[in-house]
Structure 1
Amino acid sequence: MSTPYQRQARETPAYAWWKLPLAGLLAGVFYLALTVVLVVGAAIYFALTGDTTLEDWLEAAGDLDLAHLDFFALDLLSLVLLIPALLLAVLVVGPRPVGYLSSVAGRLRWGWLARTAAISFTVFIVTIGVSLAIDAGGGDTSAPSGDRGHVIAAIVVVLLLVPFQAAAEEYVFRGYVMQLVGSWTRFAAIPVLVSVAPFVAGHAYELWGLVDVGIFGLTAAILVVRTGGLEAAIAAHTANNVVLFVLDALGVISASDDSGATAVDVLPTVVSSIVLLVWIEWSARRHGIQRTRDPIPEPPPPEPPMWPPPPWAMPQYAPQYAPQYVPHYVPQHAPPHAPRPVPPAPLHPDTPPYPGEIDPDWGR
């Protein structure tokens, strides 16, 4: 049977129950080391500028306030560091290749990422725009304001960093967590639901803000299972955050402030989630997106020993340029039924080999 995305770590020859848990611990160590480097760099930056201090940023960490662009950029960079920390940990511990953390194709499918990004931006621009138009009709939306230069700089920072911040969260919550839990169970619903809890816990919002985050996390997890990779989830996460932060930079909304939110404020996320699931599912079917990994080929059976050796394998038949005795040498006049191991065919031209396909010990 073919292997779904969340089961890839389990259904490989090199699987061991301790590898992904150890990779998580090692990723935490790598992330801590990278964070120390970031903090040192931030301290040097604040010492050179003199406007604010490192303590000011640490006290405001996580606010994602675009009024302080340096704080905002550092907050996003602290999340982006999750990508190299996690990938390096999986690369060290396994299961490898690390590309299977991205999709069932063993790589990030850039064409599919671009297609789902176009879909996601369309959905979120329309749904959030309609929501703002309704609020404007009730007099609940403020007019755009702010210094023009600051607004342009904020939009540039958002466009440069938010895609990597969104990808980092997807690699951790929909990538690592889902494959970790998926290695313990065959039921796709369990890793989908389990991945939502830590994602929600990572956001310091009030009740309805957390509900909103939970709905999006559930949608992203379903997209990963249905499309066989993180591309659609990364695209949806990026589109949602970019649209909200650009509106925040323009002074239309406050993207990180959910105080006073009600159940009505969750409706745009519900609508956008339903539309995304239907549209991306349709697009995946239309374009034949690979949703599962092909079964791993069986290792070639060992050659049975030949005793006594056939006449054509005896030393006197070996050519003069060969060594005195070549046990596995098969001359041109060997019988046509002589066993010759055939390596398994690659699964996809761009797909890296599974652990053990090239290793003669089959991953052991």
Structure 2
Amino acid sequence: MEGIMSDDATPDMTDGDGPAQVRAVGVADDAAEPAQPMPVQSTPYHRLATLRPEWARWWRPLTTAFAITAIWLILASLLMVGMVLVLTALGADRSIGQALDDPTSPLDVFVRSALGALLLPAGLLGVRLGGWRPTSLLWSVADRFRTAQMGRMLALAVVAVALATAMQTLLHGGRPALPESGRTIGVVLVLLLVAPLQAAGEELVLRGAVMQGVGTWVRGPAVPILATLPLSLIGAMHSLDTAFTAVFIALASGVLAWRTGGIEASIVLRTAVLLTAGVVGLLGMGAETTIWFGAMLAFLVLVNITGYTRRDSSVETVTVLGGDRGPFFPVMRSADAPVPPPVRV
């Protein structure tokens, strides 16, 4: 009996020659090694919604689109009602142009720009509620808004717009006719304050939500980029020039988002185009399509020459998705957090 027990019993953990101690040491050594980030396949910007299976459900883009549309319609209705109430309280003219196409009217310029700016909160809330994923991935593959790249792109945009404006001035010739000083100052202030928000909102929805949503269905970048064209043509079909410009902006912005790995460059491009076109319309110089096309073409050429489209275009590890979100943690859930269970109401 004693011999049998010596053959079958597990050796003492304190026995230096026992295999159990060898296994225990191996486990301790493994636990002592620092945790390595789990590598994933290089993921381009339009495929970021596929980093987790629950984000890439086939119906997620549909619920996201519904949520964004519903939220934007609610916000737009509140904006229009608020504008009417404010104008009534001030005793001002309550008529707002149906087309909102008077470039010399601060009210028309504000309403048109504000409607686009409302896409920013609508897109963030829609992706969070409809797509149930972090909104920070809408900005870039770095899981954040890259301010350093924004500065580089802004410098290139200033050069591009300056070149396009000089070209338009030479082609137009003559001295531009300025409206009255009050209207001019009002339009310029509205453009400076609201146009960047309008650009950010439109790019976050079109290049962020739409491209990443379609990117859950297809792998290549062509279809997600082309999917934004119909939405870009909304409100731009009253002339061939505006339709052509909207298509060109959509294609250029989509390529920039794909190549740079984020929407910083496309936001800068759209902001520059909106500001320049607003000033051109205010001065009555006409031919806005010429300056839009010139500014975008110059910007794209400069971006490709400097090589910025080859940087930070994909994400290599999932470590960028972790970390504390501070006060916005409930909205921007960490990617490695468990999926919240359904709640009955």
Alignment check: 8 A CA contact 1:355 1:363 kept:
no
Q: Does 1:243 align with 2:276?
A: yes
Q: TM-score, normalised by structure 2?
A: 0.76
User: What stretches of structure 1 of length at least 5 have no aligned partner?
Assistant: 259-264, 297-345
Q: How far apart, CA to CA, are the structure 1 residues paired with 2:256 and 2:263?
A: 8
Q: Does 1:3 align with 2:36?
A: no
Which of 54, 73, 76 is 1:32 aligned to? Answer: 73
| Map of 1:261 onto structure 2 | none
SS at match of 2:149: helix
Alignment check: 8 A CA contact 1:123 1:275 kept:
yes
| Map of 1:87 onto structure 2 | 124
Q: How far apart, CA to CA, are the structure 2 residues paired with 1:291 and 1:246?
A: 33
| Map of 1:44 onto structure 2 | 85
Which of 4, 7, 12 is 2:52 aligned to? Answer: 12
Q: Deviations over 1:104-146 (max 9, x none)?
A: 111111221122122112102212321221221xxxx552322
Question: Which AA in structure 1 matches 2:302?
Answer: W
Cα deviation, residue 238, structure 1: 0.3
User: What stretches of structure 2 of length at least 5 have no aligned partner?
Assistant: 1-40, 326-331
Q: Deviations over 1:182-220 (max 9, x none)?
A: 111111111112212321233244113311221222111
Q: Does 1:157 align with 2:190?
A: yes
Cα deviation, residue 28, structure 1: 1.4
| Map of 1:75 onto structure 2 | 112
Cα deviation, residue 272, structure 1: 3.9
Cα deviation, residue 97, structure 1: 1.2
| Map of 1:291 onto structure 2 | 313
Q: How far apart, CA to CA, are the structure 2 residues paired with 1:18 and 1:283?
A: 39
Sort the Cα spacing of 1:142 and 1:113 in 2 relative to 1 into closer, same or farther, 3 A.
Answer: same
Q: Percent identity between the aligned chains? A: 25
Alignment check: 8 A CA contact 1:12 1:355 kept:
no
Sort the Cα spacing of 1:269 and 1:240 in 2 relative to 1 into closer, same or farther, 3 A.
Answer: closer
Q: How far apart, CA to CA, are the structure 1 residues paired with 2:335 and 2:88?
A: 52
Q: How far apart, CA to CA, are the structure 2 residues paired with 1:76 and 1:269?
A: 17
SS at match of 1:104: coil
| Map of 2:255 onto structure 1 | 222
Q: Does 1:194 align with 2:194?
A: no
Sort the Cα spacing of 1:79 and 1:347 in 2 relative to 1 into closer, same or farther, 3 A.
Answer: closer
| Map of 2:246 onto structure 1 | 213
SS at match of 2:177: coil
Q: Does 1:103 align with 2:144?
A: no
Q: How far apart, CA to CA, are the structure 2 residues paired with 1:270 and 1:73?
A: 24
| Map of 2:301 onto structure 1 | 278
Cα deviation, residue 269, structure 1: 4.7
Q: Which has the higher helix share?
A: 2
Cα deviation, residue 3, structure 1: 0.4
Q: Please, what is the CA RMSD of the aligned residues?
A: 2.8
Q: Deviations over 1:299-320 (max 9, x none)?
A: xxxxxxxxxxxxxxxxxxxxxx
Alignment check: 8 A CA contact 2:277 2:292 kept:
no
Q: How far apart, CA to CA, are the structure 1 residues paired with 2:92 and 2:341?
A: 56
Alignment check: 8 A CA contact 2:61 2:213 kept:
yes
